[in-house]
Amino acid sequence: MSPDRAVLERAIDRGEREGGNVEFKERLTKDLHLTDGKLESLAAQLRHRVLSGDGEAIYVIGVTDDGGIAGITRQAFSESMDVLSLLTDEAGAHIDQVRTWGVDGDSEGNGLVGVATVREGAGIEDHDHIVVGTAGHVDHGKSTLVGSLVTGEQDDGEGNTRSFLDVQPHEVERGLSADLSYGVYGFDESGPVRMDNPHRKGDRARVVEEADRLVSFVDTVGHEPWLRTTIRGIVGQKLDYGLLTVAADDGPTKTTREHMGILLATELPIIVAITKADLVDETQIATVEREVEGLLRDVDKTPLRVDRHGVDTALDEISETVIPIVTTSAVTGKGLDILDELFEQLPKTGSTTADERFRMYVDRTYNVTGVGAVASGTIKAGEVEAGDELLIGPMPNGRFRETEVRSIEMHYHRVDRATAGRIVGIALKGIEEEAIERGMVLLPRDADPDPVQEFEAEVMVLNHPTRIGPGYEPVVHLETVSEAAAFYPENEQLLPGDTGRATVRFKFRPYLVEEGQRFVFREGHSKGVGTVRNID
């Protein structure tokens, strides 16, 4: 029996008894269980179960009154979760976690049984929360550093803490990240709140629940063939800070310069972490520190050595032009306490005003058994709540579809609402995962979006072997959109270092683009940055 299924077996063994916190339901339906009087009665029953369990109740769905596993269809299970969510709202509680299993002997794979953990309170309160995007050359210790920060564990010198962030078996095997991965830790009045076992989803959820301040890492890819994924991680998320790693045994590389250019193009405040200080002597560390300082001065930035000037000075001075430098080692722990101090106190930079409306660009999609399609991304503006009616699109034909928020999770913790800057997964009703694509956007139902296939932009050519003429086709990275586009410069050409106006036309389909959005474009070794100026 798998450890996961043991949760189900324990709940059934405990049984549904008076004074207990376990409740058996074969299914919950809107027509039967939300009628007048029934809702209040079931909510009272739920409150009783929560109080009996010292703030926690277990609802087993898909079983008979005596605990026999019956199983229900996926559609019936989804409806049951919708009804249970309404009951928890009525009872002043929230669904914290849902687990599902297939029913033995169901050859069609349509029978489900599930366990929902219900906790008292209206769910997680909004946190003081910053999002940090990491970048750096492959094997410069980026993921290992983040792994040590979120766990508090020192690395073994072989990159064991980096495995806490990898999402694919082949990434662990090769020691390379091939897609974006995420980590989280936080702080309360006693100090850091870290993960004991990052491979366990519930442990990430615990950090989110306990911490008063959260730090989420969007860990990007260091290997050159996946540079477009790195750009997506930096441009497509609502980041507050960038963390650029430079290995002490290697120094700044071409990829370091590339990643720094992308971070600077987004106008983010940046921290540079010199990693792997345990592998070299003090002379080599000093050499790399000077190289990093020179690299920053070459692009008109002011380096600030935190070991010389202190954390308070770094907190006061960090900006788009002043860049703190911290020398670290994930093996010895050197410099990790300094990063903790910085991340505990750094202010949020990507704040949103209360009157902004909800907007989230889709970065990932997946399907959760018993829940359905989930769209994941970083909320760009406004806030979203379970039950909100939304639009999603544009579809390839430029149209938007109606949907509804079934539930919201942040680092595997169920929340009732989430605001700008939060990395969330939103379970959606009325749409299949196959219909959702990266680059689509979620908006309020009454929004009137006008997707476009071309727009006017101000662009700067950072690097190109010759001139850029009409019809030049790089890949444009705008929010989570990564799409080939044709450029038509206003004056027929743009040379390296030039800034000018151009018409940008997506090659295959329209997207939702807004004035003021910044983007990166790249083709081979050529690259540049731009700002959307006109979408008429």
What does the pLDDT look like over 82-100, one tens digit per residue?
Answer: 888 888 878 878 887 788 8
Predicted confidence at residue 170, as pLDDT, reads 31
Phi, psi for 197 (deg, rounded to 5): -140, 90
More confident residue, 331 or 171: 331
pLDDT of residue 461: 82
What confidence score (pLDDT) does residue 134 get? Answer: 87
Query: Which spans in 189-324 are helix H?
Result: 201-210, 227-235, 254-265, 282-298, 306-309, 311-317
Q: Which of 28-32, 44-48, 109-113, 309-313 is predicted with the least confidence, judged by mean pLDDT?
A: 109-113
Question: Where is 393: in which H helix or E strand?
Answer: strand 389-393
Would you place residue 352 in the very low, low, confident or very high pLDDT band (cuts 50, 70, 90)? Answer: low
In DSSP notation, 476-527 reads EEETTEEEEEEEEETTS-B-TT-EEEEEEEESS--B---TT-EEEEEETTEE
Task: With cut-offs at 50, 70 and 90, classify the pLDDT of residue 224.
Answer: very low
Q: Tokens 């441009």 appear where?
A: 235
User: Does position 123 have pLDDT exceeding 80, yes or no?
Assistant: no
CA distance 336 to 117: 36
Q: Select from 2.30.30.100, 2.40.30.10, 3.40.50.300, 3.30.930.10 the CATH code of 359-444.
A: 2.40.30.10
Q: 128-345, which class in CATH?
A: alpha beta
Q: Please report the pLDDT score of residue 178 as a whole number.
A: 32
The sign of the CA dihedral 224, 229, 235, 239 is negative
**Over 96-142, what HEC string results?**
EEEEEEECCCCCCCCCEEEEEEEEECCCCCCCEEEEEEEEECCCCCH
Least confident of 39-43, 44-48, 229-233, 284-288: 229-233
Cis before 303? omega within 30? no
Structure tokens at 7: 């949760």
pTM metric for this prediction: 0.63
Q: Which amino acid is at 85?
A: S
The domain ranges of the chain are 3-120, 128-345, 359-444, 454-534
Examine domains 359-444 and 454-534 and report if their fold is the same.
yes
Does the pLDDT of residue 172 top 70, yes or no? Answer: no
**pLDDT value, residue 220:** 63
- Percentage with pLDDT > 70 across the chain: 85
Q: Look at residue 225 in the predicted model and tell me its pLDDT.
A: 41
If pLDDT is split at 50, 70 and 90, which confidence band does 364 have?
confident
Q: Please, what's the largest Cα pairwise distance for the chain?
A: 79
Closest to 27 measured CA to CA, from 66, 67, 73: 73
Is pLDDT above 50 for 110?
yes
Phi-psi region of 139 (alpha: psi -120 to 50; beta: other; left: phi over 0): left
d(CA 510, CA 268) in angstroms, rounded, equals 28
The amino acid present at 470, given as its one-letter code, is P
pLDDT, tens digit, 9 for 90 and up, residues 128-151: 788 888 888 888 888 889 889 989
Confidence at residue 318, expressed as pLDDT on a 0 to 100 scale: 94
Pairing mode, strands 322-327 and 302-305: parallel
| Superfamily (CATH) of domain 454-534 | Translation factors (2.40.30.10)
Report whether CATH 3.40.50.300 matches the domain 3-120.
no
Task: Answer whether residue 303 shows pLDDT above 90.
Answer: yes
Q: How confident is the model at residue 391 (pLDDT cuts 50, 70, 90)?
A: very high
Burial class of residue 140 in the structure, from the number of CB atoms within 10 Å of its CB (0-12 exposed, 13-18 middle, 19+ buried): buried
Q: What is the mean pLDDT of residues 170-185?
A: 47
Q: Residue 349 has what DSSP assignment?
A: S
Q: Is pLDDT at 73 greater than 60 in this prediction?
A: yes
Among 158-167, 293-302, 319-328, the range scoring the smallest mean pLDDT is 158-167
> Got the DSSP string for 411-478?
TTEEESEEETT-EEEEEEES--GGG--TT-EEEETT-----BSEEEEEEEEEE-SS-B-TTB--EEEE
Q: How confident is the prediction for the chain on average, in pLDDT?
A: 83
**pLDDT tens for residues 456-489?**
999 888 776 677 889 999 989 898 898 999 999 9
CA 232, 235, 237, 243 torsion-angle sign: positive
- pLDDT above 50 for 282: yes
Question: What is the CA angle 30-120-384, rounded to 5?
Answer: 65
Lookup: tokens for 208 = 């989110």
Sequential DSSP letters for 366-381? EEETTTEEEEEEEEEE
DSSP 132-201: EEEEE-TTSSHHHHHHHHHH-PPP-SS-GGGGGT--SHHHHHHT---S-EEEEEEEETTEEE--S-TTSH
Give the pLDDT of residue 175: 35
Give me the mean pLDDT over the 275-302 stretch.
95
